[in-house]
């Protein structure tokens, strides 16, 4: 992972925009390089600044976030774009995903959770974060499904081989925060509490541990 990710925010709620900008600026590994309430300003500045992460409000003064997302993808296709909204709307979510967004974020989510989403998407643990799906109660229809991604299985095996988070981070080229985030998410997904639960889960999936 990069040492420092640059973030740009386009949101027409000035208080929300400024609050998020301040919060992101306090996070290690992230720096906010610009913000605006206007889509046309966003296009100009994003083309020049080429930020790594772009937060796009769905409701904008003279357009909507989907139109802006489509235009941004043309000028900065490598950026990780996230649509921000208060609306729980599957249609908007689906369109955002089709246009290349890396996440659909509800404004009701906490700032800490948003940073965790950035870590997961930027480390390729997940391709698209879907706040709607996460919002829905998830019963255990996961029996025939793999609970863990390939990256999470890789980290799980390293944990079970008694490697430290610091050692895992160095080996995989990830930040320590990302590895610790993965470890928390892995235990949450398998409903486990410790490495013994993790070992038992991997064995149940036919995984070998070195």
Rounded (10°) angle between helices 14-25 and 111-122: 60
Integer Cα distance of 84 and 9 in angstroms: 10
Integer Cα distance of 186 and 196 in angstroms: 13
pLDDT in tens, 105-152: 998 888 888 999 999 999 888 899 999 887 654 434 444 457 888 899
pLDDT in tens, 65-95: 999 999 999 999 999 999 999 888 888 999 9
Integer Cα distance of 179 and 101 in angstroms: 24
14 with 118, same domain: the answer is: yes
Cα-to-chain-centroid distance, residue 170? 21
pLDDT at 140: 41
Instruction: Give rounded-to-5 percent helix, strand, coil for the chain.
Output: 50, 15, 35
Q: Which of 51, 76, 58 is nearest to 12 (CA)?
A: 58
pLDDT-wise least confident of 16-30, 82-96, 114-128, 186-200: 186-200
* Global pTM value: 0.66
Among 99, 134, 169, the domain boundary falls at 134
Q: Is residue 209 part of a domain?
A: no
124 with 75, same domain: the answer is: yes
46 with 110, same domain: the answer is: yes
pLDDT at 1: 56
pLDDT in tens, 35-47: 999 999 999 999 9
Domain of 161, CATH number, reads 1.10.10.10
Q: Is the dihedral of CA 13, 15, 18, 20 positive or negative?
A: negative
Among 134, 159, 186, the domain boundary falls at 134
103 with 200, same domain: the answer is: no
Among 134, 167, 191, the domain boundary falls at 134
Instruction: Work out how many domains the chain is built from and give that number.
Output: 2
For residue 172, the enclosing domain spans 150-204
């Amino acid at each position: 992972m990069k040492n420092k990710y640059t973030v740009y925010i386009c949101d027409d709620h000035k208080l929300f925009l400024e609050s998020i900008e301040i919060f992101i600026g306090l996070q290690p590994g992230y720096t906010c390089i610009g913000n605006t309430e206007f889509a046309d300003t966003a296009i100009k500045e994003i083309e020049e600044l080429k930020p790594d992460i772009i937060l796009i409000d769905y409701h904008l003064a003279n357009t909507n976030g989907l139109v802006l997302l489509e235009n941004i993808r043309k000028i900065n296709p490598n950026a990780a774009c996230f649509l921000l909204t208060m609306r729980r709307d599957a249609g908007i979510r689906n369109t955002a995903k089709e246009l290349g967004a890396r996440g659909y974020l509800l404004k009701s989510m906490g700032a800490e959770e948003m940073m965790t989403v950035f870590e997961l998407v930027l480390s390729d643990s997940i391709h698209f974060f879907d706040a709607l799906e996460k919002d829905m109660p998830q019963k255990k229809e996961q029996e025939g499904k793999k609970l863990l991604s390939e990256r999470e299985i890789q980290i799980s095996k390293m944990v079970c081989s008694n490697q430290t988070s610091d050692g895992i981070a160095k080996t995989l080229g990830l930040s320590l925060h990302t590895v610790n985030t993965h470890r928390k998410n892995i235990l949450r997904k398998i409903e486990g509490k410790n490495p013994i639960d993790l070992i038992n889960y991997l064995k149940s999936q036919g995984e070998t541990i070195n």
